[in-house]
Amino acid sequence: MKTPSTLEDASSDVEKIINELRPKSYSYEDLERFTSKFSEPLGFGGYGEVYKGQFPSGVHIAVKVLAKKDVVEETLMAEVRTLGKAYHRNLVKLYGYCFEHNMKALVYEYIENGSLDRILYENHNGIEWETLYGIAIETAKGIDYLHDGLDERIIHYDIKASNVLLGKTLSPKITDFGLAKLMKRDVSRVPLTRIRGTFGYNAPETWMPSSQVTYKCDVYSFGMMLFEILGNRRNGEGENWFPKKVWEKYKDGQLAHIINDCGITEKDYEKAKTLSMVALWCVQYTPERRPSMNDVVLMLQNKVPVDMPSYPFQFRQSWDSSMLPREVIAEIPPTQEVIAEVRSEATFTIESSYFSRKLAGKFRKKKGSQVLESEKAISLSSPYTSQQDGSKNKSLIFFEGIRQFELEDLLKSQAEMLRKDDFGTSYKAVLDNGEFLCINRLNIIQDEEKRENIETYMEVLGNLRHNNIVSMKAYYFSRDEKLLFSDYMPKGSLFSFLHTNRGVGQAPLDWNTRLKIAAGVACGLDFIHNYSSQSPTLVARGVTLSHGNIKSTNVLIDSTGNPRLTEFGLFAFASATVRSRSNGYRAPETLLAEGRKFSYQKVDIYAFGVLLLEILTGKCPFKNGGSEVVDLRRMVQQVIKKDWMAKVFDSELVMHQASEQQMVGLLEIAMSCTTFSTDKRPSICSVFNMIKDIRNTEE
């Protein structure tokens, strides 16, 4: 907690920076007058709400009122430090700021056409692909200016489609410099004190606090945005990750197929091919292999040729006897969390994809090459191995009836990141016998005092077996690592089906499938809620079991199309910051004052209601990687008042003539689940029975 003196020092630092830079200071009364008392909200971002306003001269403005107390001053300082000294046609102009006790705000130019992500995902009419290509070039010019157009480099850290605003002529302007940092030109790397950026865009090296990063992390994020422009959709996750699909088609000489699937016409083929290849270069796993933004601009403008990109993602070769380039150094350095590099004329990367691993190898000469000897010559240490004697750590606990796997299998397995959220990061791993596992690396349980409680809790959760719940196989807890092992679900999440697998060449999620998923989730949640009375451990402790984190990314689809809940029961062990964070699913009572008591099962009901609204409307309850909340209940209420049913249901459901009676019935259930009064929310058992009745309704 900051002391008063610390806050005073921080405030004086902010004022000192502001006084040295160009933006103008405005009072709270000025902002009230400019915005007509904040009467026209434009949206809610990660750090506060944005309002439309107007200077007395008639110039339109956007006023961002900073509300996230723990980062308000850091955000304001970052914006003023960077935007305050930068001027470029592809950057949003910062007119000024307000820095008063009861008001911290930033004043920008107003940009008419909203953000690029809305054009890509919400504007079904779309815009010409050639125009999108021009937006990509102009955005690249803006980032190039940040990196090389000033005395000091500016690392943005959060390049993404929602942070690219489009002016009257659809000219792009980069915004949101709340995470940005200045970097002196004689410094090649800067320390990262905390994870920055938005999952899905941020470079691998930014996933770890205390790592060293370069300005090339912006290049990676821009590459991810290029893939979204190419596909005119979100990049997805897991098996449906679009960048990986582009690479697979490219290496097989079938790039034209995926370009055609994206709805891009023949006249734009060459530009689409160029954009694809540039994107593959930008997302190279090793920062040094990524081009500079100046090179990106030149390649997109066809002023320099685009070389054939190499494999951009994590290195996937087996640990068994890998051939290395000539002139390899004699010793492989230890990994830093995930990467160890051997440098020669080319770069060879050996990675530990999901856990810390130290690697030391022996080399021997063979016909002029250097060969890394087989696995037996490699010394490995991992969270699963005792640091003292190399014996297996007894903290790897398997649940009853689960076939045990060997630690060596895990050490040798390839791992592919599936997703990342507030609770941790999930990976897909393949064992020697071909079996797939999901490994969830938790980052929420930092308090060692909770360890005994959660291990007892794990014993209960691990024995939950139901057709609509992901089965846990084992868990491992140490001071540094908390890992859960569970069944791998090959079809990804409900989120992917609703929000990623849409558009040209993608099969929509039909009504019967959506209704089946809704019923399955309700059935699984009903089992969780009622399990408390069946568990002697929970009964003895007076514990009522709940899920705690219902959302579409936590509804996974198995090989038969059956929905399964994952990440259940972990919410109670999350930090206060995570528990209080609104994500579009969180019940209103959880966002009120700390210490207030409420029923976690009723919280589940509310979140399930939001999930039903998501299934019905096809709308996501959050934007910008979770930094902006969309109130689906309020949205539906407003639409109903204006024109009942005209704009409520997903256009794909209406197009395919889904049962109106069934949709209205499910909508009524969703609205009852999301009522503000907890007493008026139905039990999950009642909800499940109502959904079953709807499924039995004659169409």
Per-run averaged pLDDT (10 residues), the chain, 699 residues:
45 51 82 91 73 92 76 67 77 87 86 88 76 96 90 87 91 84 74 72 76 89 95 73 90 90 90 96 91 94 90 51 30 32 30 33 32 27 30 52 56 65 77 76 62 67 84 76 82 86 59 93 92 66 80 90 86 62 77 68 94 91 69 79 61 70 90 92 94 79
Whether 186 is catalytic is: no
pLDDT confidence of residue 124: 54
Question: 3-state SS string over 221-260?
Answer: HHHHHHHHHHHCCCCCCHHHCHHHHHHHHHHCCCHHHHHH
Q: Give the model confidence (pLDDT) of 605-625 as tens digits.
A: 999 999 999 999 888 888 765
Q: How far apart are CA 137 and CA 333, in angstroms?
A: 39
Cβ atoms of residues 143 and 294 within 8 Å: no
Tell whether residue 69 is among the known ligand binding residues: yes
Catalytic residue among 30, 158, 176, 604: 158
pLDDT confidence of residue 45: 60
For the chain, domains (ranges, CATH) are: 4-109 (3.30.200.20), 116-300 (1.10.510.10), 323-381 (no CATH), 396-487 (3.30.200.20), 494-695 (1.10.510.10)
pLDDT confidence of residue 654: 67
pLDDT confidence of residue 565: 94
pLDDT confidence of residue 340: 30
Q: Report yes or no on whether pTM surpasses 0.75.
A: no
Provide the mean pLDDT of the chain: 74
Q: How far apart are CA 256 and CA 244, in angstroms?
A: 15
Q: Which residues contact 546 (CB under 8 A, 6 or more apart)?
A: 528, 529, 569, 571, 600, 601, 603, 604
Tokens of 648: 């409520």
pLDDT confidence of residue 463: 75
Cβ atoms of residues 624 and 46 within 8 Å: yes
Q: HSE-up of 506 (CA within 13 Å, CB side)?
A: 21
- State whether the Cα torsion 418-420-424-425 is positive or negative: positive
Q: Give the model confidence (pLDDT) of 566-595 as tens digits.
A: 888 777 666 655 665 657 888 888 766 455
pLDDT confidence of residue 7: 42
Cβ atoms of residues 543 and 599 within 8 Å: no
pLDDT confidence of residue 347: 29
pLDDT confidence of residue 666: 93
Q: Which residues contact 344 (CB under 8 A, 6 or more apart)?
A: 324, 325, 326, 327, 328, 329
pLDDT confidence of residue 353: 33
Helix (H) or strand (E) holding 516: helix 511-531
CA 511 from centre of chain: 27
